[in-house]
Chain A
Protein backbone atom coordinates (compact mmCIF):
# COMPACT_ATOMS: atom_id res chain seq x y z
CA UNK A 1 0.00 0.00 0.00
CA UNK A 2 1.42 3.36 -1.07
CA UNK A 3 1.72 6.46 1.05
CA UNK A 4 -1.41 8.61 1.37
CA UNK A 5 -0.65 12.30 1.27
CA UNK A 6 -2.76 15.46 1.24
CA UNK A 7 -1.58 17.37 -1.83
CA UNK A 8 -2.71 19.85 -4.44
CA UNK A 9 -3.85 17.85 -7.46
CA UNK A 10 -1.56 19.73 -9.88
CA UNK A 11 1.44 18.89 -7.69
CA UNK A 12 0.38 15.24 -7.55
CA UNK A 13 0.07 15.26 -11.34
CA UNK A 14 3.61 16.60 -11.66
CA UNK A 15 4.86 14.00 -9.19
CA UNK A 16 3.26 11.33 -11.37
CA UNK A 17 5.05 12.71 -14.43
CA UNK A 18 8.29 12.44 -12.47
CA UNK A 19 7.51 8.89 -11.39
CA UNK A 20 6.71 8.05 -15.01
CA UNK A 21 10.33 8.98 -15.73
CA UNK A 22 9.45 11.36 -18.55
CA UNK A 23 12.37 12.37 -20.80
CA UNK A 24 11.22 15.66 -22.34
CA UNK A 25 8.81 18.26 -20.97
CA UNK A 26 7.83 21.27 -23.00
CA UNK A 27 5.20 23.76 -21.96
CA UNK A 28 4.01 27.34 -22.00
CA UNK A 29 2.31 28.91 -18.98
CA UNK A 30 -1.46 29.31 -18.94
CA UNK A 31 -3.83 29.41 -15.99
CA UNK A 32 -4.89 26.97 -14.52
CA UNK A 33 -2.23 24.61 -15.87
CA UNK A 34 0.69 26.49 -14.31
CA UNK A 35 1.15 24.60 -11.05
CA UNK A 36 1.81 21.33 -12.88
CA UNK A 37 4.62 22.82 -14.95
CA UNK A 38 6.02 24.93 -12.11
CA UNK A 39 6.39 21.86 -9.95
CA UNK A 40 7.98 19.89 -12.78
CA UNK A 41 10.52 22.65 -13.31
CA UNK A 42 11.34 22.48 -9.60
CA UNK A 43 11.81 18.72 -9.78
CA UNK A 44 14.20 19.15 -12.72
CA UNK A 45 16.00 22.07 -11.05
CA UNK A 46 16.54 19.98 -7.91
CA UNK A 47 17.81 17.00 -9.84
CA UNK A 48 14.88 14.84 -8.74
CA UNK A 49 13.85 14.30 -12.35
CA UNK A 50 16.35 13.77 -15.18
CA UNK A 51 14.53 15.33 -18.12
CA UNK A 52 14.98 18.01 -20.73
CA UNK A 53 12.63 20.78 -19.65
CA UNK A 54 11.75 23.60 -22.02
CA UNK A 55 9.72 26.73 -21.48
CA UNK A 56 8.89 27.39 -25.09
CA UNK A 57 7.44 30.52 -26.67
CA UNK A 58 3.91 29.19 -27.32
CA UNK A 59 1.69 26.17 -26.84
CA UNK A 60 1.98 25.51 -30.53
CA UNK A 61 5.70 25.02 -30.05
CA UNK A 62 5.16 23.17 -26.76
CA UNK A 63 3.40 20.34 -28.55
CA UNK A 64 5.68 20.63 -31.60
CA UNK A 65 8.72 20.07 -29.38
CA UNK A 66 7.01 16.99 -27.91
CA UNK A 67 6.25 15.71 -31.41
CA UNK A 68 9.93 16.05 -32.30
CA UNK A 69 11.25 14.46 -29.12
CA UNK A 70 8.68 11.66 -29.14
CA UNK A 71 9.71 10.82 -32.71
CA UNK A 72 13.24 10.15 -31.46
CA UNK A 73 11.82 7.75 -28.88
CA UNK A 74 11.85 10.06 -25.85
CA UNK A 75 8.86 9.92 -23.47
CA UNK A 76 7.38 13.39 -23.75
CA UNK A 77 4.89 15.42 -21.74
CA UNK A 78 3.05 18.70 -22.04
CA UNK A 79 0.22 20.36 -20.23
CA UNK A 80 -2.09 23.19 -21.22
CA UNK A 81 -5.52 24.80 -20.95
CA UNK A 82 -8.07 26.69 -22.98
CA UNK A 83 -6.55 29.19 -25.44
CA UNK A 84 -3.29 27.28 -25.22
CA UNK A 85 -5.01 24.14 -26.40
CA UNK A 86 -6.75 26.08 -29.13
CA UNK A 87 -3.38 27.37 -30.32
CA UNK A 88 -1.83 23.89 -30.34
CA UNK A 89 -4.88 22.24 -31.85
CA UNK A 90 -3.29 22.00 -35.29
CA UNK A 91 -0.53 19.83 -33.90
CA UNK A 92 -2.87 17.60 -31.88
CA UNK A 93 -4.23 16.15 -35.11
CA UNK A 94 -0.72 15.59 -36.47
CA UNK A 95 0.66 13.96 -33.31
CA UNK A 96 -2.02 11.28 -33.37
CA UNK A 97 -1.90 10.68 -37.12
CA UNK A 98 1.86 10.18 -36.83
CA UNK A 99 1.12 7.75 -33.97
CA UNK A 100 3.32 9.46 -31.40
CA UNK A 101 2.36 8.43 -27.85
CA UNK A 102 2.64 11.81 -26.12
CA UNK A 103 0.68 12.31 -22.91
CA UNK A 104 -0.90 15.67 -22.19
CA UNK A 105 -2.84 16.88 -19.18
CA UNK A 106 -5.41 19.54 -19.91
CA UNK A 107 -6.47 21.68 -16.97
CA UNK A 108 -9.84 22.33 -18.57
CA UNK A 109 -10.89 25.94 -18.90
CA UNK A 110 -13.42 27.93 -20.91
CA UNK A 111 -12.55 29.35 -24.31
CA UNK A 112 -12.69 33.12 -24.93
CA UNK A 113 -14.51 35.46 -25.51
CA UNK A 114 -15.14 36.83 -23.01
CA UNK A 115 -11.93 35.63 -21.52
CA UNK A 116 -12.46 33.37 -18.53
CA UNK A 117 -9.78 31.52 -16.65
CA UNK A 118 -12.30 29.21 -15.03
CA UNK A 119 -13.42 25.71 -15.73
CA UNK A 120 -15.58 24.18 -18.36
CA UNK A 121 -14.96 21.62 -21.12
CA UNK A 122 -15.14 23.84 -24.18
CA UNK A 123 -11.36 23.71 -24.68
CA UNK A 124 -11.09 19.96 -25.14
CA UNK A 125 -14.37 19.74 -27.04
CA UNK A 126 -12.79 21.95 -29.70
CA UNK A 127 -10.39 19.10 -30.47
CA UNK A 128 -12.88 16.31 -29.97
CA UNK A 129 -11.96 14.64 -33.26
CA UNK A 130 -8.18 14.98 -32.97
CA UNK A 131 -7.67 11.23 -32.73
CA UNK A 132 -6.17 11.01 -29.23
CA UNK A 133 -7.31 8.73 -26.44
CA UNK A 134 -9.17 11.04 -24.05
CA UNK A 135 -9.83 10.45 -20.36
CA UNK A 136 -11.83 12.59 -17.95
CA UNK A 137 -10.67 12.54 -14.34
CA UNK A 138 -13.14 12.77 -11.49
CA UNK A 139 -10.67 13.52 -8.71
CA UNK A 140 -7.00 13.96 -7.94
CA UNK A 141 -6.34 10.28 -7.54
CA UNK A 142 -7.69 9.69 -11.05
CA UNK A 143 -5.35 12.30 -12.45
CA UNK A 144 -2.33 10.83 -10.68
CA UNK A 145 -3.19 7.25 -11.64
CA UNK A 146 -3.96 8.07 -15.24
CA UNK A 147 -0.51 9.48 -15.93
CA UNK A 148 0.86 5.93 -15.65
CA UNK A 149 -2.14 4.33 -17.30
CA UNK A 150 -1.97 6.79 -20.20
CA UNK A 151 1.73 6.27 -20.90
CA UNK A 152 1.56 2.50 -20.71
CA UNK A 153 -1.44 2.42 -22.98
CA UNK A 154 -0.21 5.08 -25.42
CA UNK A 155 3.16 3.38 -25.86
CA UNK A 156 1.70 -0.11 -26.29
CA UNK A 157 2.79 -1.30 -29.72
CA UNK A 158 -0.78 -2.28 -30.49
CA UNK A 159 -1.99 1.23 -29.67
CA UNK A 160 0.65 3.93 -30.37
CA UNK A 161 -1.63 6.91 -29.88
CA UNK A 162 -1.27 10.02 -27.78
CA UNK A 163 -3.49 10.45 -24.74
CA UNK A 164 -5.16 13.37 -23.00
CA UNK A 165 -6.03 13.43 -19.33
CA UNK A 166 -8.72 16.02 -18.70
CA UNK A 167 -8.48 17.58 -15.26
CA UNK A 168 -11.05 20.28 -14.48
CA UNK A 169 -9.31 23.60 -13.99
CA UNK A 170 -9.35 24.93 -10.40
CA UNK A 171 -12.13 22.58 -9.24
CA UNK A 172 -9.58 19.79 -9.56
CA UNK A 173 -6.25 21.34 -10.44
CA UNK A 174 -6.06 23.67 -7.45
CA UNK A 175 -7.70 21.66 -4.68
CA UNK A 176 -5.90 19.67 -2.04
CA UNK A 177 -6.97 16.06 -1.95
CA UNK A 178 -5.69 12.91 -0.34
CA UNK A 179 -3.58 11.10 -2.92
CA UNK A 180 -2.35 7.56 -2.52
CA UNK A 181 1.13 7.40 -4.01
CA UNK A 182 2.39 4.26 -5.71
CA UNK A 183 5.85 2.90 -4.86
CA UNK A 184 8.41 3.61 -7.59
CA UNK A 185 9.35 -0.07 -8.05
CA UNK A 186 5.74 -0.88 -8.83
CA UNK A 187 5.55 1.93 -11.36
CA UNK A 188 8.79 0.87 -13.01
CA UNK A 189 7.33 -2.61 -13.46
CA UNK A 190 4.01 -1.28 -14.71
CA UNK A 191 5.63 1.24 -17.06
CA UNK A 192 8.89 0.07 -18.67
CA UNK A 193 10.92 2.51 -20.83
CA UNK A 194 9.37 3.41 -24.19
CA UNK A 195 10.51 1.28 -27.12
CA UNK A 196 9.30 2.91 -30.34
CA UNK A 197 8.54 0.84 -33.43
CA UNK A 198 9.92 3.56 -35.71
CA UNK A 199 12.16 6.36 -34.57
CA UNK A 200 14.13 9.15 -36.16
CA UNK A 201 17.70 7.87 -36.14
CA UNK A 202 20.43 7.66 -38.78
CA UNK A 203 20.95 3.95 -38.15
CA UNK A 204 17.62 3.25 -39.82
CA UNK A 205 16.47 6.29 -41.77
CA UNK A 206 12.73 6.70 -42.10
CA UNK A 207 10.62 9.53 -43.47
CA UNK A 208 7.71 10.65 -41.32
CA UNK A 209 5.00 13.09 -42.28
CA UNK A 210 4.88 12.80 -46.05
CA UNK A 211 2.16 14.20 -48.25
CA UNK A 212 -0.78 11.96 -49.15
CA UNK A 213 -2.48 12.42 -52.48
CA UNK A 214 -6.17 11.51 -52.86
CA UNK A 215 -5.48 7.85 -53.76
CA UNK A 216 -4.01 7.13 -50.30
CA UNK A 217 -5.30 9.78 -47.86
CA UNK A 218 -8.46 7.82 -47.04
CA UNK A 219 -6.43 4.70 -46.25
CA UNK A 220 -4.35 6.65 -43.72
CA UNK A 221 -7.51 7.88 -42.00
CA UNK A 222 -9.00 4.41 -41.91
CA UNK A 223 -5.82 3.11 -40.27
CA UNK A 224 -6.04 5.86 -37.63
CA UNK A 225 -9.72 5.24 -36.99
CA UNK A 226 -9.18 1.52 -36.58
CA UNK A 227 -6.25 2.18 -34.25
CA UNK A 228 -8.30 4.41 -31.97
CA UNK A 229 -11.42 2.21 -32.01
CA UNK A 230 -9.21 -0.83 -31.60
CA UNK A 231 -7.50 0.57 -28.52
CA UNK A 232 -10.58 -0.23 -26.40
CA UNK A 233 -9.55 -3.77 -25.38
CA UNK A 234 -6.08 -2.46 -24.52
CA UNK A 235 -7.61 0.29 -22.42
CA UNK A 236 -9.66 -2.26 -20.47
CA UNK A 237 -6.63 -4.51 -20.12
CA UNK A 238 -4.46 -1.66 -18.87
CA UNK A 239 -7.05 -0.57 -16.31
CA UNK A 240 -7.30 -4.19 -15.14
CA UNK A 241 -3.54 -4.45 -14.72
CA UNK A 242 -3.51 -1.14 -12.89
CA UNK A 243 -6.32 -2.29 -10.62
CA UNK A 244 -4.51 -5.51 -9.84
CA UNK A 245 -1.50 -3.42 -8.80
CA UNK A 246 -3.32 -0.76 -6.76
CA UNK A 247 -6.80 -2.04 -6.01
CA UNK A 248 -8.24 0.90 -7.97
CA UNK A 249 -10.18 -0.47 -10.92
CA UNK A 250 -11.36 2.00 -13.54
CA UNK A 251 -14.16 1.58 -16.08
CA UNK A 252 -15.04 3.49 -19.26
CA UNK A 253 -18.41 4.36 -17.74
CA UNK A 254 -18.70 4.24 -13.98
CA UNK A 255 -22.04 4.26 -12.25
CA UNK A 256 -23.33 5.23 -8.86
CA UNK A 257 -26.64 3.80 -7.67
CA UNK A 258 -27.68 3.56 -11.30
CA UNK A 259 -28.44 -0.17 -11.53
CA UNK A 260 -32.13 0.22 -10.63
CA UNK A 261 -32.53 3.94 -11.28
CA UNK A 262 -35.35 5.33 -13.41
CA UNK A 263 -33.49 8.58 -13.91
CA UNK A 264 -29.75 8.61 -14.52
CA UNK A 265 -27.63 11.73 -14.60
CA UNK A 266 -24.79 11.56 -17.11
CA UNK A 267 -21.69 13.68 -16.46
CA UNK A 268 -17.95 13.87 -17.11
CA UNK A 269 -15.08 15.02 -14.91
CA UNK A 270 -15.25 16.58 -11.47
CA UNK A 271 -19.04 16.88 -11.57
CA UNK A 272 -18.92 13.25 -10.44
CA UNK A 273 -18.46 13.74 -6.74
CA UNK A 274 -20.99 16.58 -6.42
CA UNK A 275 -23.53 14.70 -8.50
CA UNK A 276 -23.04 11.61 -6.30
CA UNK A 277 -23.90 13.73 -3.26
CA UNK A 278 -27.06 14.87 -5.07
CA UNK A 279 -27.95 11.24 -5.83
CA UNK A 280 -27.64 10.39 -2.12
CA UNK A 281 -29.93 13.27 -1.18
CA UNK A 282 -32.55 12.22 -3.75
CA UNK A 283 -32.30 8.57 -2.75
CA UNK A 284 -32.97 9.61 0.86
CA UNK A 285 -36.22 11.10 -0.41
CA UNK A 286 -37.04 7.78 -2.01
CA UNK A 287 -36.41 8.93 -5.58
CA UNK A 288 -35.08 6.49 -8.13
CA UNK A 289 -32.02 8.44 -9.34
CA UNK A 290 -28.51 7.29 -10.22
CA UNK A 291 -25.39 8.57 -11.90
CA UNK A 292 -23.29 7.52 -14.90
CA UNK A 293 -19.83 9.05 -15.20
CA UNK A 294 -18.15 8.86 -18.58
CA UNK A 295 -14.46 8.43 -17.87
CA UNK A 296 -13.39 7.52 -21.39
CA UNK A 297 -14.44 10.12 -23.95
CA UNK A 298 -12.39 8.79 -26.89
CA UNK A 299 -12.74 6.12 -28.08
CA UNK A 300 -16.36 6.58 -27.01
CA UNK A 301 -17.48 3.53 -25.01
CA UNK A 302 -20.76 2.86 -26.78
CA UNK A 303 -21.31 -0.63 -25.39
CA UNK A 304 -20.40 0.22 -21.81
CA UNK A 305 -22.59 3.29 -21.97
CA UNK A 306 -25.61 1.36 -23.18
CA UNK A 307 -25.08 -1.30 -20.57
CA UNK A 308 -25.02 1.32 -17.85
CA UNK A 309 -28.06 3.33 -18.96
CA UNK A 310 -30.41 1.46 -21.29
CA UNK A 311 -32.70 0.31 -18.49
CA UNK A 312 -33.45 3.87 -17.33
CA UNK A 313 -36.58 5.81 -18.28
CA UNK A 314 -34.70 9.03 -18.70
CA UNK A 315 -31.18 10.37 -18.85
CA UNK A 316 -30.32 13.84 -17.65
CA UNK A 317 -27.13 14.69 -19.49
CA UNK A 318 -25.25 17.59 -17.94
CA UNK A 319 -22.73 19.05 -20.35
CA UNK A 320 -19.98 21.44 -19.38
CA UNK A 321 -19.62 22.83 -22.89
CA UNK A 322 -21.99 24.29 -25.40
CA UNK A 323 -22.21 23.53 -29.09
CA UNK A 324 -23.48 26.88 -30.28
CA UNK A 325 -25.98 26.50 -33.08
CA UNK A 326 -25.92 22.75 -32.63
CA UNK A 327 -28.08 20.24 -30.82
CA UNK A 328 -27.03 21.10 -27.25
CA UNK A 329 -23.96 19.87 -25.47
CA UNK A 330 -21.40 17.53 -27.02
CA UNK A 331 -21.94 14.76 -24.46
CA UNK A 332 -25.68 14.77 -25.09
CA UNK A 333 -25.09 14.51 -28.83
CA UNK A 334 -22.88 11.49 -28.30
CA UNK A 335 -25.33 9.90 -25.88
CA UNK A 336 -28.21 10.34 -28.31
CA UNK A 337 -26.12 8.81 -31.09
CA UNK A 338 -25.23 5.89 -28.84
CA UNK A 339 -28.89 5.18 -28.11
CA UNK A 340 -30.39 5.89 -31.50
CA UNK A 341 -30.30 2.32 -32.74
CA UNK A 342 -32.04 0.91 -29.66
CA UNK A 343 -35.71 -0.02 -30.07
CA UNK A 344 -36.45 0.94 -26.47
CA UNK A 345 -34.36 3.75 -25.16
CA UNK A 346 -34.45 6.34 -22.40
CA UNK A 347 -35.48 9.90 -23.16
CA UNK A 348 -32.50 12.27 -23.09
CA UNK A 349 -32.83 15.66 -21.44
CA UNK A 350 -29.82 17.93 -21.80
CA UNK A 351 -28.54 20.74 -19.60
CA UNK A 352 -25.49 22.83 -20.20
CA UNK A 353 -24.20 23.88 -16.79
CA UNK A 354 -21.11 25.12 -15.05
CA UNK A 355 -19.79 27.24 -17.91
CA UNK A 356 -16.79 29.45 -17.24
CA UNK A 357 -16.42 28.24 -13.67
CA UNK A 358 -20.01 28.73 -12.49
CA UNK A 359 -20.46 26.58 -9.43
CA UNK A 360 -22.85 23.63 -9.68
CA UNK A 361 -23.86 22.37 -6.24
CA UNK A 362 -25.74 19.22 -5.22
CA UNK A 363 -28.95 21.26 -5.03
CA UNK A 364 -28.39 22.39 -8.64
CA UNK A 365 -28.17 18.77 -9.76
CA UNK A 366 -31.42 18.07 -7.89
CA UNK A 367 -33.10 21.05 -9.57
CA UNK A 368 -31.96 19.81 -12.98
CA UNK A 369 -33.37 16.34 -12.33
CA UNK A 370 -36.62 17.92 -11.08
CA UNK A 371 -36.90 20.09 -14.16
CA UNK A 372 -36.10 17.27 -16.55
CA UNK A 373 -38.62 14.90 -14.99
CA UNK A 374 -41.38 17.52 -15.18
CA UNK A 375 -40.55 18.50 -18.75
CA UNK A 376 -40.43 14.90 -19.92
CA UNK A 377 -43.71 14.15 -18.19
CA UNK A 378 -45.21 17.10 -20.03
CA UNK A 379 -44.06 15.58 -23.28
CA UNK A 380 -40.89 17.58 -23.96
CA UNK A 381 -38.72 14.76 -25.23
CA UNK A 382 -36.05 16.88 -26.94
CA UNK A 383 -35.25 19.11 -24.01
CA UNK A 384 -32.14 21.21 -24.03
CA UNK A 385 -31.44 24.26 -21.93
CA UNK A 386 -28.67 26.24 -20.34
CA UNK A 387 -29.09 25.76 -16.64
CA UNK A 388 -29.23 28.68 -14.26
CA UNK A 389 -29.06 31.41 -16.85
CA UNK A 390 -30.67 34.69 -15.75
CA UNK A 391 -33.49 35.76 -18.06
Chain B
Protein backbone atom coordinates (compact mmCIF):
# COMPACT_ATOMS: atom_id res chain seq x y z
CA UNK B 1 0.00 0.00 0.00
CA UNK B 2 1.44 3.33 -1.03
CA UNK B 3 1.42 5.97 1.65
CA UNK B 4 0.00 9.40 0.84
CA UNK B 5 2.26 12.20 -0.41
CA UNK B 6 2.26 14.04 2.91
CA UNK B 7 3.97 11.11 4.64
CA UNK B 8 7.02 10.81 2.41
CA UNK B 9 10.39 11.99 3.72
CA UNK B 10 12.78 13.38 1.14
CA UNK B 11 15.27 10.58 1.73
CA UNK B 12 12.66 7.98 0.84
CA UNK B 13 11.99 9.38 -2.62
CA UNK B 14 13.46 7.34 -5.47
CA UNK B 15 15.87 9.18 -7.81
CA UNK B 16 13.92 11.67 -9.88
CA UNK B 17 10.75 10.89 -7.89
CA UNK B 18 10.17 7.93 -10.18
CA UNK B 19 7.04 5.96 -9.33
CA UNK B 20 7.94 2.31 -9.03
CA UNK B 21 4.54 0.70 -8.41
CA UNK B 22 2.80 0.46 -11.79
CA UNK B 23 -0.89 1.35 -11.62
CA UNK B 24 -0.96 1.97 -7.88
CA UNK B 25 -3.66 4.58 -8.52
CA UNK B 26 -5.97 1.56 -8.15
CA UNK B 27 -5.47 1.96 -4.40
CA UNK B 28 -7.12 5.36 -4.60
CA UNK B 29 -10.85 5.56 -4.01
CA UNK B 30 -12.68 7.73 -6.52
CA UNK B 31 -15.97 6.13 -5.59
CA UNK B 32 -16.75 8.78 -3.01
CA UNK B 33 -17.14 11.43 -5.71
CA UNK B 34 -20.57 10.22 -6.71
CA UNK B 35 -24.07 11.17 -5.74
CA UNK B 36 -25.73 8.61 -8.00
CA UNK B 37 -24.77 4.98 -8.35
CA UNK B 38 -25.65 2.48 -11.09
CA UNK B 39 -27.88 -0.44 -10.23
CA UNK B 40 -28.13 -3.40 -12.60
CA UNK B 41 -31.31 -5.31 -13.27
CA UNK B 42 -29.89 -8.71 -14.22
CA UNK B 43 -33.14 -9.76 -15.82
CA UNK B 44 -32.76 -7.14 -18.51
CA UNK B 45 -29.00 -7.56 -18.96
CA UNK B 46 -27.94 -9.03 -22.31
CA UNK B 47 -24.25 -9.23 -21.38
CA UNK B 48 -23.25 -6.96 -24.23
CA UNK B 49 -20.52 -5.27 -22.20
CA UNK B 50 -21.24 -1.70 -23.32
CA UNK B 51 -21.28 -0.55 -19.68
CA UNK B 52 -17.84 -2.08 -19.35
CA UNK B 53 -16.32 -0.70 -22.54
CA UNK B 54 -17.69 2.83 -22.16
CA UNK B 55 -16.72 3.28 -18.51
CA UNK B 56 -13.97 5.96 -18.34
CA UNK B 57 -12.99 4.65 -14.93
CA UNK B 58 -12.64 0.92 -15.68
CA UNK B 59 -15.21 0.30 -12.94
CA UNK B 60 -16.88 -2.70 -14.55
CA UNK B 61 -15.55 -6.24 -14.26
CA UNK B 62 -16.88 -9.50 -15.62
CA UNK B 63 -18.07 -11.86 -12.90
CA UNK B 64 -18.21 -15.64 -12.97
CA UNK B 65 -21.82 -15.63 -14.17
CA UNK B 66 -21.00 -13.46 -17.17
CA UNK B 67 -22.38 -10.19 -15.82
CA UNK B 68 -20.41 -6.98 -15.84
CA UNK B 69 -20.56 -5.70 -12.28
CA UNK B 70 -19.70 -2.18 -11.20
CA UNK B 71 -17.00 -1.64 -8.60
CA UNK B 72 -18.27 1.20 -6.43
CA UNK B 73 -14.75 1.80 -5.08
CA UNK B 74 -13.97 3.49 -8.40
CA UNK B 75 -17.35 4.41 -9.91
CA UNK B 76 -17.66 8.21 -10.04
CA UNK B 77 -21.34 8.03 -10.88
CA UNK B 78 -21.16 9.66 -14.33
CA UNK B 79 -24.12 7.64 -15.58
CA UNK B 80 -22.65 6.71 -18.97
CA UNK B 81 -23.37 3.01 -18.36
CA UNK B 82 -27.04 3.65 -17.66
CA UNK B 83 -27.36 5.98 -20.64
CA UNK B 84 -25.69 3.59 -23.07
CA UNK B 85 -27.25 0.35 -21.86
CA UNK B 86 -29.30 -0.82 -24.86
CA UNK B 87 -31.94 -2.57 -22.75
CA UNK B 88 -32.28 -0.08 -19.91
CA UNK B 89 -30.95 -2.63 -17.43
CA UNK B 90 -28.97 -0.02 -15.49
CA UNK B 91 -30.56 2.78 -13.51
CA UNK B 92 -28.88 5.52 -11.55
CA UNK B 93 -30.09 5.81 -7.98
CA UNK B 94 -29.18 8.19 -5.19
CA UNK B 95 -26.39 6.78 -3.13
CA UNK B 96 -27.11 6.73 0.55
CA UNK B 97 -24.56 8.18 2.90
CA UNK B 98 -22.32 5.40 4.15
CA UNK B 99 -21.20 5.73 7.70
Contact = CB atoms under 8 A, between A and B. Distances in A.
Contact, chains A and B (beta carbon distance below 8 A): yes
Interface of A: 97-100, 160, 197-198, 205-208, 210, 212-213, 215-216, 218-220, 222-223, 226-227
A100 B6 contact: no
Contacts of A160: 15-16
B23 to A, nearest CB: 8
Contacts of B15: 99, 160, 197-198, 227
A227 B6 CA distance: 21
Contacts of B8: 216, 219
A212 B16 contact: no
Contact of B9 (A208, A210, A219, A227): A219
A220 B19 CA distance: 13
Chain A CB count within 10 A is highest, among B6, B11, B18, for B18
B27 interface: no
Given A207-B22, A215-B5, A100 B10 contact: no
A176 B70 CA distance: 72
Contacts of B11: 223
User: Which 5 residue pairs of A and B lie closest in terms of their CB atoms, listed nearest first?
Assistant: A99-B16, A215-B6, A216-B5, A219-B10, A207-B19
Contacts of A215: 4-6
Nearest to B5: A216
B20 A206 contact: yes
A220 B17 contact: yes
Contacts of A227: 15
A219 B13 contact: yes
Chain A CB count within 10 A is highest, among B6, B15, B20, for B15
Contacts of A99: 15-16
B6 A216 contact: yes
A212 B5 contact: yes
A100 B16 CA distance: 8
A97 B5 contact: no
B19 A210 contact: yes
B10 A220 contact: yes
Contacts of B22: 205-207
A99 B15 CA distance: 6
B74 to A, nearest CB: 19
Nearest to B25: A207
A188 to B, nearest CB: 26
Contacts of A223: 10-11, 13, 17
A227 B22 CA distance: 25
A205 B23 CA distance: 9
A100 B18 CA distance: 11
B90 to A, nearest CB: 33
B35 to A, nearest CB: 25
Contacts of A208: 16, 18-19
A213 B4 CA distance: 11
Contacts of B9: 219
B8 to A, nearest CB: 6
Given A219-B10, A220-B13, A206 B5 contact: no
Contacts of A220: 10, 13, 17
A247 B20 CA distance: 42
Contacts of B4: 215
Contacts of B5: 212-213, 215-216
Chain A CB count within 10 A is highest, among B5, B13, B16, for B16
B64 to A, nearest CB: 29
Contacts of A226: 10
Contacts of B18: 198, 206-208
A260 B81 CA distance: 83
B98 to A, nearest CB: 26
Nearest to A215: B6
27 contacts: A97-B16, A98-B16, A98-B17, A160-B16, A197-B15, A198-B14, A206-B19, A207-B18, A207-B19, A207-B22, A208-B18, A210-B17, A212-B5, A212-B17, A213-B5, A215-B4, A215-B5, A215-B6, A216-B5, A216-B8, A216-B17, A219-B8, A219-B9, A219-B10, A220-B10, A222-B10, A223-B10
Nearest to A217: B5
A98 B15 CA distance: 7
A227 B17 CA distance: 13
A335 B48 CA distance: 72
B21 to A, nearest CB: 9
Contacts of B10: 218-220, 222-223, 226
A144 B17 CA distance: 33
Contacts of B17: 97-98, 210, 212, 216, 220, 223
